[in-house]
Structure 1
Amino acid sequence: MNVRRTVLSSGLRIVTEEVPSVRSAAIGIWVNVGSRDETPAVAGASHFLEHLLFKGTTTRTALEISSSIESVGGEMNAFTTKEYTCFYARVIDTDLPMAVDVVSDLITSSLVTANDVDSERKVVLEEISMRDDDPSDLVQELFSDTYYGDTPIGRSILGTTESINGMSRSAVFNYYKKRYIPQDLVIAVAGNIKHKKVVEMVERALSRDGFLNVHGSPQVRPDTPIRIKNQQSVGLINRKTEQANMFYGVAGVARNDDRRFTMGILSAALGGGMSSRLFQEIREKRGLAYSVFSYSQQFAGTGILGFYAASHPTKAFEVIDVIREVLADVAANGMTEEEIERAKGAVRGSLVLSQEDSGSRMSRIGKSEIVYGEIMGFDEILKEISGVTSDAIRKVAGEFLVQRPTLAVVGPFRDGRKFEKVMGA
């Protein structure tokens, strides 16, 4: 693995992975801020700001920002999570200096004008409406709110209609200036590049407006355990949908827990594909649902293991019963060697295949640096996956699958008491 890391006196981190066999290069600027850093008054500010930074800088209009990348056949975008925000571009390797300059310009010199705030507010409100119209997305938001309650990590990344409507230009701009500082940034670049040249490009691009004229130390979010105080058993949104969209979840491991690899294999064996236990039991054997999947999600100080299924409303309770029966069986008896090896192979293969392009490699090293403060070697990750044993699976399953569950449902149901009954609440 040809990964290198440089830390500037400002606290800015630059990580690169040289891949000489490709003709592309990808840059990502990762910011250590997300929706869990917001107060209720500015809920959705991280995501709102992500939109606004594309609206124009002191040297580029919104059109110039987008056309500079698109005119060379590149792609540019951004996304916000609960814990970080990322702005990225992927271009031909010879166009990397331009891409670095454009993406850096968003970070150092965005205007965030009052007119832009007002116009983009409408776009974000449309995005919230689009989320609300998609029950498969909405049910996962509902689960987070039901499980974590009205806490920073439980709130929606998009914010609410009320918080977005009430957010002023000064509130968003102050959030930008306070949170977008060198010690909270990671610049990740991967592709046909040289580390030394990338460091020079980045320093030159980010030096505008005195952005790097500070001293600091790289910041990593502390892994302080989060205590779940107001966990509810059932969250319900009554919607006239053709299917009941259900998300069933239990406590998982936090980001720095050494058992995260075991939890990942357990999740894959339970609902990671067509050969997984839940897919076989719910869809193949009983024909109760079309879509069935699971995932393990880790944050600093907390995590979840969740299971999604969508079925005809009349089959919803049967689906929940099957999920509970399968989880109880696995908690008591573990999983077969065949299931575990199949899941390990799926996770290994997916990980290797995901590294086939410069954008994926950039994402891996950037995310690892922003959340862990270090980059685990690719071979080390594969070794950890291969080292997961049936005993480890049995112990993790026995501890977590018996935790108090939370169920979120979006569908044509007026009363959540039946769901509470089937959940044993």
Structure 2
Amino acid sequence: MFNKIVLENGLRIVTENIPYVKSVSIGIWIETGSRFENQSNNGISHFIEHMLFKGTENRTAKQIAESIDSVGGQLNAFTSKEFTCFYAKVLDEHLPLAVDVLADMIFNSKFNEEDIIKEKNVVFEEINMYEDSPEDLVHDLICQTMFDGHPLAYPILGSSSILEKINRKNVLDYYKQYYTPNNTVISIAGNFDTDKTIELIYKYFSNWIPVKKEKDEQCPPMFYRRIMGKTKNTEQLHLCLGMKGVPQGTNEMYHLMVLNNIFGGSMSSRLFQKIREERGLAYSIYSYPSSYKDTGMFTIYVGLNPNYVSTVLQLITEEIDKIKNGGMTSDEIYKSKEQLKGNYILGLESTSSRMSSMGKSELLHGKIYRPKEILEMIDSVQREDVENIAKEVLDFNRLNISFVGDINNNQIESNFKKIIG
């Protein structure tokens, strides 16, 4: 059973009771991420996420880790472009402990100067690790390429040069601005007593003082044709093709998900079968949609020998042309929808997945989409919907390219111009 309560301070609590499981997952979702940053503090949302594990007035960093480890649970966090989430998964009997630890981290983190200096070094190494992973780096670059001039272009980790200049005051000011009850959702899924759990949340979070949110005046990004890359001495060329997608929470999002499964989102997809299985030109090739509150993107990735780049680009554009010209079969669309439904239903077996779905949905859209609604939205997708979204999204005039490998912009551009002009 789903439940939603809003406290007087604006904090939203969404719960789903699942009595037949032994676990419970809880997430604290803060609406802050790299798109809320600027050129002088890019990376600060992710850095604050790290700092909340560095010790509170009541627990050392080690005690925070031990508190959940000692009961066999999981405690972690992540930062995205639009939100930061701190979450725990424990046996149902340990939910009070999980709430206590998470509340302690949110309210009582020390942000010691010494810890800030030390944790900067940790994040520097995380950035270096990312830079040394071409497949990760090229996906970051496609966002920078597509959203150039817009906050969505900012990398989640930031950069070492910017992070180096961020001080304790910057951290505290940003934390106080965004870590507020009216900017937060608490999501809980699993086996728990709803009334007792709401009382528990009220005990820890009802005195959290709200802060007036400044209206977000960001304009939607503009999409042009661009190429951005990093020439590196790598064995493979890592290539991303990016096009404008669709926003979160729209019917078109489901249309694009059905298209993605057919085109490149699975092992049975056209790109995988044509380029890897039939031609043996790449080990890794796939496509995926990314959706944000007001926009989205659709990305194709391939890792390949640079000598094959012209051939692979030709094959990708041929498949795009086939799709846009109504080359999808009813059987492909049916199988894609069944795959989406199956993946979604399998995910419902995880309390973490259900907690995450509720939290993200409430934070970004102000409502919970129940499983029945989601399955109905997938089922409602028609062939015409998929054909229309293909023509809208697979647009060569707004195609962006990012690359990492032993090649340069001119070589990529000349190869692509040979194919699409």
Structure 2 length normalisation: TM-score?
Answer: 0.95
Q: Residue 23 and residue 129 in structure 1: after superposition, are their counterparts in 2 closer, same or farther (change >3 A)?
A: same
Report if aligned partners of 1:10, 1:215 keep a CA contact under 8 Å in 2: no
Mapped partners of 1:104, 1:126: distance in 2: 28
| Cα shift readout 1:29-74 (whole Å, capped 9, x = no counterpart) | 0001111000111100000000001111111111111111000000
Runs of 4+ in structure 1 over 6 Å off = 219-224
Report if aligned partners of 1:223, 1:256 keep a CA contact under 8 Å in 2: no
- 1:39 maps to 38
Cα drift, residue 15 of structure 1: 0.5
What are the within-5 Å matches in structure 2 for residues 138-149 of structure 1?
Answer: 138-149=137-148
Mapped partners of 2:222, 2:94: distance in 1: 48
Q: Residue 40 and residue 75 in structure 1: after superposition, are their counterparts in 2 closer, same or farther (change >3 A)?
A: same
Mapped partners of 1:397, 1:214: distance in 2: 43
Gaps of 5+ in 2: none
Report if aligned partners of 2:35, 2:81 keep a CA contact under 8 Å in 1: yes
Cα drift, residue 223 of structure 1: 10
| Cα shift readout 1:235-281 (whole Å, capped 9, x = no counterpart) | 12111111111111111111243211101111111111111011111
Structure 2 residue 202 is the aligned partner of structure 1 residue 186: no
Cα drift, residue 334 of structure 1: 4.2
Letter in 2 for 1:204: K
> Percent identical across equivalent pairs?
39
Mapped partners of 2:201, 2:162: distance in 1: 35
Cα drift, residue 139 of structure 1: 0.3
Cα drift, residue 221 of structure 1: 9.0
- 2:165 maps to 166
Mapped partners of 1:422, 1:300: distance in 2: 34
- 1:368 maps to 361
Mapped partners of 2:343, 2:225: distance in 1: 34
Mapped partners of 1:220, 1:76: distance in 2: 31
- 2:400 maps to 406
- 1:301 maps to 294
Aligned counterpart for 2:222 among listed residues 215, 220, 228: 228
Q: Residue 39 and residue 140 in structure 1: after superposition, are their counterparts in 2 closer, same or farther (change >3 A)?
A: same
Mapped partners of 1:138, 1:157: distance in 2: 12
What are the within-5 Å matches in structure 2 for residues 7-406 of structure 1?
Answer: 7-207=6-206, 210=207, 212-214=208-210, 226-228=220-222, 231-402=224-395, 403-406=397-400
Cα drift, residue 227 of structure 1: 3.0
Cα drift, residue 213 of structure 1: 4.1
Mapped partners of 1:281, 1:233: distance in 2: 27
Cα drift, residue 186 of structure 1: 0.4
Q: Residue 214 and residue 288 in structure 1: after superposition, are their counterparts in 2 closer, same or farther (change >3 A)?
A: closer
- 2:416 maps to 423
Letter in 1 for 2:318: E
Letter in 2 for 1:91: V
Aligned-partner SS, 1:345: helix
| Cα shift readout 1:200-241 (whole Å, capped 9, x = no counterpart) | 11121225xx4x24487xx89979761316x44211211111
Letter in 2 for 1:282: I
Letter in 1 for 2:69: E
Mapped partners of 2:211, 2:225: distance in 1: 45
238-247 or 330-339, which deviates more:
330-339
Report if aligned partners of 1:221, 1:371 keep a CA contact under 8 Å in 2: no
Q: Residue 119 and residue 7 in structure 1: after superposition, are their counterparts in 2 closer, same or farther (change >3 A)?
A: same
Report if aligned partners of 2:180, 2:210 keep a CA contact under 8 Å in 1: no
Mapped partners of 1:214, 1:400: distance in 2: 40
Letter in 2 for 1:416: N
403-412 or 72-81, which deviates more:
403-412
Aligned-partner SS, 1:333: coil
Mapped partners of 1:10, 1:4: distance in 2: 18
Mapped partners of 1:235, 1:92: distance in 2: 47
Letter in 1 for 2:176: K
Aligned-partner SS, 1:41: coil
Mapped partners of 1:19, 1:288: distance in 2: 46
RMSD between aligned alpha carbons? 1.7
Q: Residue 221 and residue 308 in structure 1: after superposition, are their counterparts in 2 closer, same or farther (change >3 A)?
A: farther
Mapped partners of 1:167, 1:150: distance in 2: 22
Cα drift, residue 293 of structure 1: 1.1
Mapped partners of 1:223, 1:296: distance in 2: 25
Aligned residue-pair number: 417
Cα drift, residue 361 of structure 1: 1.1
| Cα shift readout 1:95-137 (whole Å, capped 9, x = no counterpart) | 0001011011111121111111100000000000000011110
Structure 1 length normalisation: TM-score?
Answer: 0.95
Q: Residue 41 and residue 12 in structure 1: after superposition, are their counterparts in 2 closer, same or farther (change >3 A)?
A: same
